[in-house]
Structure 1
């Protein structure tokens, strides 16, 4: 009986030592990770943002545009006697097409999502564009239900869904007319400096938030 009891105690001791050893290792790993996260958080926090750039008039920044980590409306304006509403959102092209640099996409190429809507209309015009420092190119023009959500998934699905005839296959007169249509509404390369600076600030905020959230999660993890 005593032999069995002592044997059982030996097994219990091994289990306790193993558990203690595992807990100690977990604590050490967590401490190392938290230290690294803190160092990078402080480093990122000290990064100097670009000079503040105001959007070209009469565009205004959508309230709360920098909040959260999703993609939403950035700029808006009214236009014309019909009280058209022009709403823009933006992403980096290499966020839409992973590995963009390797596929020939310039890091300065932005993906612009332009919605032109009218109060009395149930549908809106959607322009998917590529924006450069010195040019704007239209990828497609489509009709979409008004109020379609601005999100990264919506932008990607818009890029994949039917968007009408291929823009490059339209005759030159119609392509020029569409370019004139959005340029008349203030959508052109003059937006690039603001949108590039805005994306930098957005990315910086998201990076700082990421370090904080991951650090909080690791810190609150309890060893079992």
Structure 2
């Protein structure tokens, strides 16, 4: 009887030892796998941070264009370089004229225009959103124009709700009017004369092109810095639980 009890105890002890060994082996394997994954993740992060730093330094060395002042009587809206609001403003009689600007590549889908074919349309064509506001009206007269170094063309004319001071031009909420090219030639000529009388012409191009260059440069610098900071930020250590 004692022999059978001793044999059973020995068998149980052996099974327990084998189970403990397997658990220890699994823990060691899991620890090694976690360490390997952490090592791979660290290597990827390091490579990405090096690439971001190289691009950051490259962008930092870019030479900005010569400073260009906007044509009188337009003035630059304070803080416009860091937001998507109006860039230039002026008053004309009782009207407030605001100008927003974007690049051709921002308007059209499919990436940067002319990237592979040598076409410089993305640089030499800008889109202007011209908003004409009158204090007694709830709507503004909105012109979408294409601006070139030597010309300005109107794409559309519509009535739109007044945009808030800190925001971009809001979209039309009512009938947007006929296609501009389908308007009578006399009406088109008169609309061109209307905005030209308010100083909307090709003379705006040098300033707005330089302004967009500075804005793009700042955005790139900010982008590389923010992405790099996010990647390099260490995970907070978990506090050990007290038993």
Q: Same fold judged by TM-score > 0.5?
A: yes
Check conservation: 1:38, 1:211, Cα contact below 8 A. yes
1:186 aligns with 2:199: yes
Check conservation: 1:94, 1:105, Cα contact below 8 A. no
Match of 2:80 in 1: 65
Cα deviations by residue, 1:106-149 (Å, 9 ceiling, x for unpaired): 22111110000011111110001111111111011101112257
**Structure 1 stretch displaced more, 96-105 or 201-210:** 96-105
Instruction: Give structure 2 stretches of 5+ with no counterpart.
Output: 1-15, 238-243
The structure having more radius of gyration, on CA atoms, is 2
Between the two proteins, the alignment pairs up a number of residues equal to 216
Match of 1:92 in 2: 103
**Structure 1 stretch displaced more, 204-213 or 27-36:** 27-36
**Whole-Å separation in 2 of the counterparts to 1:146 and 1:112:** 17
Q: Of residues 19, 28, 47 in structure 2, which corresponds to 1:4?
A: 19
The 5 A counterparts of 1:167-186 are 167-186=180-199
1:181 counterpart SS class? helix
CA deviation after TM superposition for structure 1 residue 63, in Å: 0.5
Describe the shift of the 1:218–1:161 C-alpha distance in structure 2 as closer, same or farther (beyond 3 A). Answer: farther
Match of 1:101 in 2: 113
Instruction: Give structure 1 stretches of 5+ with no counterpart.
Output: none
**Whole-Å separation in 1 of the counterparts to 2:147 and 2:174:** 21
Q: Of residues 14, 17, 28 in structure 1, which corresponds to 2:32?
A: 17
**Whole-Å separation in 1 of the counterparts to 2:89 and 2:236:** 49
**Whole-Å separation in 2 of the counterparts to 1:6 and 1:161:** 76
**Whole-Å separation in 1 of the counterparts to 2:108 and 2:163:** 25
1:136 aligns with 2:147: no
Where relative contact order (Cα < 8 A, 6+ residues apart) is larger, the structure is 1
Check conservation: 2:104, 2:113, Cα contact below 8 A. no
